[in-house]
Amino acid sequence: MLDRWTLLLASFLLAATLVVLVVVAVWFLLRPSALQEPTHANDVFAPVWPGPFTPTRAPASDARVADPALDRAAAEASPRTRGARFRILPGSTVAEVLRRLASDPRVTDDLASIHTGTLMARLGLGTGHAEGRFLPDAYRIGKATHASDILREAHDRMRTGLEHAWRGRASGLPYANPEEALIVASIIARETARAEDRSLVAAVFARRMHMGMRLQADPTVLYGLRGHFGGTLTRHHLTIDTPYNTYTRDGLPPTPISLPGMPSIEAALHPAASTSLYFVGRGDGTTEFSDTLAEHNAAVRRYRRSSRGRRHGTDRRAPLGLLIASALDSLSGA
């Protein structure tokens, strides 16, 4: 009798043990971490999806969606994005790129304490102004990549790209040389990241140059005040004369004001067929263009409330706009 109960108990325990093992095995095979590779913080930045489209599959926590700078990179970067890359962002400045290179642990910083005014000489590229000379793109990083290596490659790509684009430029442009086209492209890159608007912005600037009007572009004012500006651009800022203030000075700024990508350069060299002379950001990333000052002032009043807080200090994705007041327009002879 005892042997029979002992056998039954042993059988029950064995069966229970087998059930537990099966449950544990199923859980182990089906748990989430077994179905997908673990992700790292840097994975959300690679690859950058080129073009103004949304990828069919993106990382769960896609930092690009919330990062204005990476939105610009996605809009203008080339497809060469696999592997470790350092991205020069369209519309950024040389000073910003130098700061990012210095803080990137993957890059050997051999340009520490270099001022932008001496950067070209340090790279062996002459003594000119460094702004606008480096093409925004994604640059491969190796085991011994120096900051100077990246910038020399970016300089070569900008020189080659600009020369090629200049040879294929539209006729009747108001630019005397590729340098002037690069300056206008650098302003376009700061005005909008929206592909549909670039050639329209370029058309406004081209028409103004043909007519002898001042450009009155807000980004040029900000560039002239760099290091002495914080917050929101005001009418007072527009009256502070610097070599870059296109409200107070005729013609183009003396140098580019940013690093434009090839789409901005192509837009400058192929403006849209347009009769507009003014534009203003609607506050949602799009732009409204106007032919007359009266239409423009009405648009400014319409969108000022929605765009307040976005312009110039807090959201660089939004077009900065040509917010041209009637008084400033009459003073400038526009």
Same domain, 183 and 326: yes
pLDDT of residue 24: 56
pLDDT of residue 233: 82
- For residue range 253-295, what is the model confidence (pLDDT) as tens digits? 999 999 999 999 999 999 999 999 999 988 888 899 999 999 9
| Count: domains in the chain | 2
Same domain, 308 and 187: yes
The answer to whether position 169 is within a domain reads no
pLDDT of residue 15: 74
**Cα–Cα distances in angstroms (integers) from residue 128 to residues 116, 176, 255, 256, 317, in the given order:** 10, 19, 10, 12, 29
* Tokens found for residue 111: 């340009």
Same domain, 156 and 275: no
- For residue range 224-247, what is the model confidence (pLDDT) as tens digits? 998 677 777 888 899 999 999 999
Higher pLDDT, 119 or 34: 119
The domain in which residue 328 lies consists of 176-332
Same domain, 159 and 107: yes
The answer to whether position 291 is within a domain reads yes
pLDDT of residue 282: 85
The answer to whether position 48 is within a domain reads no
Same domain, 130 and 268: no
Q: Tell me which of 103, 130, 164 is where a domain ends.
A: 164
pLDDT of residue 276: 95
The answer to whether position 160 is within a domain reads yes
Q: Tell me which of 164, 185, 214 is where a domain ends.
A: 164
Same domain, 233 and 318: yes
Question: Can you tell me the mean pLDDT for 15-20?
Answer: 71
Higher pLDDT, 132 or 3: 132
The answer to whether position 26 is within a domain reads no
Same domain, 102 and 182: no
Same domain, 138 and 184: no
The answer to whether position 159 is within a domain reads yes
- For residue range 41-52, what is the model confidence (pLDDT) as tens digits? 222 222 222 222
Average per-residue pLDDT for the chain: 76
Confidence of residue 174 (pLDDT cuts 50, 70, 90): very high
Same domain, 136 and 249: no
Q: Which 8-state DSSP code applies to residue 164?
A: H
Measure CA 156 to chain center. Answer: 20
Confidence of residue 114 (pLDDT cuts 50, 70, 90): confident
The answer to whether position 23 is within a domain reads no
Of 54-63, 194-203, 279-288, which one has max mean pLDDT? Answer: 194-203
Same domain, 148 and 242: no
Same domain, 205 and 325: yes
* Tokens found for residue 1: 């009798």
Is pLDDT of 55 > 50? Answer: no
Question: Can you tell me the mean pLDDT for 15-41?
Answer: 48
Q: Tell me which of 132, 164, 196 is where a domain ends.
A: 164
Return the SS3 of 203: helix
- Burial zone of 104 (CB within 10 Å; 0-12 exposed, 13-18 middle, 19+ buried): middle
Is pLDDT of 70 > 50? Answer: no
Is pLDDT of 146 > 50? Answer: yes
Question: Can you tell me the mean pLDDT for 53-59?
Answer: 25
CB 45 within 8 A of CB 138: no
The C-alpha atoms of residue 43 and residue 63 are separated, in whole angstroms, by 10
Is pLDDT of 215 > 50? Answer: yes
Who's near 289: CB < 8 A, 6+ residues apart? 200, 204, 274, 276, 278, 279
Query: What type of residue is 118?
Result: T
Same domain, 190 and 256: yes
The answer to whether position 97 is within a domain reads yes
pLDDT of residue 112: 86
Confidence of residue 302 (pLDDT cuts 50, 70, 90): confident
